[in-house]
Structure 1
Amino acid sequence: MWNKIYRWVLSISVIGIIGLITYIGINIYLDNETRSEQKAVVKSEVEELEEEKTDNKEELALTELSKDKLAENNEKGYLNVFGDPKSKDEITEKMFKKYLNYMAHQKVYAEQMWGFYEITPERIDFLLEVLEIKTYEQEEVYKDILTRWKQGEFSQAVEDHNKVWKLQDGNVGRATRLLTEEEEQAILDRYN
């Protein structure tokens, strides 16, 4: 009788273990299949975003901001070299940083940038003259950047951009490299 009970318990145990192994195997298989499907969905979404980026390249092209401003502010009388109706003594530090940042956009590449101001001797001189009559918290940083730019030295433009960008509490649009001469010229040709 004990022999029958022992066989019966052993049979049930073996069937239970086989059932448990089957259950675990099926769950692992389904889990892997679900992960594969999720990976495929994520990959598809990433590819769509990449296509969107490529399709929107024209939309992301930089605009020379002063051209639009000159047209908008034409009736306001005096316009500074950036197209704003603000004289040198009316330039706030916030505006100053914006001018400098957007001038740097002519020289640097970042994933996202919204417009630029062409770097001209007149604009550099204008900002240096502003520094002579105004006191700003970061004026030494600005003066250092503008002095180098006035001498035609733009090798540190990425660092210059990112310094000013940080001072503006930037979180999108960090510059990652200098533009090639061809890339910069293409931007300028579009507006000249």
Structure 2
Amino acid sequence: MVTLLGGGSIKTYFKWAVIAIAVVVAYGGVLLGVIKIFSFNEKSVEVTSTTVQFKDNPTKEQLAVINVDFNSEDKINQSEVSSKADIYNTIHQMANTKIIAEDGQIWGLKAMTKTRVESVQNAVKDLGIEDERIIQMLDRWAKQDFSQCVEEHNYIWSKYLGGTIGKAIKLR
């Protein structure tokens, strides 16, 4: 067995070198993740959603979701439409992009896009939701008619979500 300076073997030094490299790689991955989370570039906004509550002044990221073009490419997470509760929540968060709340509080945003509206419409059919107001609401949204979003928001918010904070009072 070969011993090195300090009395340790090559095997021991190799083991510690591997551990040190693994720690450096792990810290680097965490650092890159943190940088990605905190570096927001409006030109590279991926149309998704945000569930962060805001009052009165939305952030740049929230405004990017609110102001997204209806025909933008969108990636829908299947969990947004996998159950009736998910559908009601998704509809509510989509409506949130079009309204102003009486107390200034909005809880959750999902971009109002053609892809998301169609995905929710399909899920409503698949799950057998027969609420005519929801079906008509989604039909209007598919035609980019958001003129009734205050009433539509408040309907979903109160009937299905037990809303107490964030009642819509006007369109954005």
- TM score, norm. by length of structure 1: 0.48
Residue in structure 1 matching 2:87, options 80, 83, 96: 96
- What is the CA–CA distance in structure 1 between the aligned matches of 2:109 and 2:61, rounded to whole Å? 6
- What is the CA–CA distance in structure 1 between the aligned matches of 2:99 and 2:146, rounded to whole Å? 10
- The runs of at least 4 aligned residues of structure 1 exceeding 6 Å deviation read none
Q: Which runs of 5+ in 2 are unaligned?
A: 1-54, 66-73
Change (3 A) 1:61 1:162: farther
Deviations 1:40-79 (A, max 9, x none): xxxxxxxxxxxxxxxx755x64865xx9xxxxxxxxxxxx
More helix by share: 1
Q: Corresponding residue for 2:114?
A: 121
> Number of aligned pairs?
105
- Amino acid in the other structure paired with 2:125: E
Residue in structure 1 matching 2:125, options 132, 145, 160: 132
More strand by share: 2
Matches within 5 A, 1:33-48: none
Please tell me whether the aligned partners of residues 99 and 117 of structure 1 are also in contact (alpha carbons under 8 angstroms).
yes
Structure 2 residue 79 is matched with structure 1 residue 86 = yes
Structure 2 residue 155 is matched with structure 1 residue 163 = yes
Asked which structure has the greater CA Rg, the reply is 1
- What is the CA–CA distance in structure 2 between the aligned matches of 1:126 and 1:135, rounded to whole Å? 14
Q: Percent identical across equivalent pairs?
A: 24
Q: Which runs of 5+ in 1 are unaligned?
A: 1-55, 68-79, 180-192
Residue in structure 1 matching 2:96, options 105, 110, 115: 105
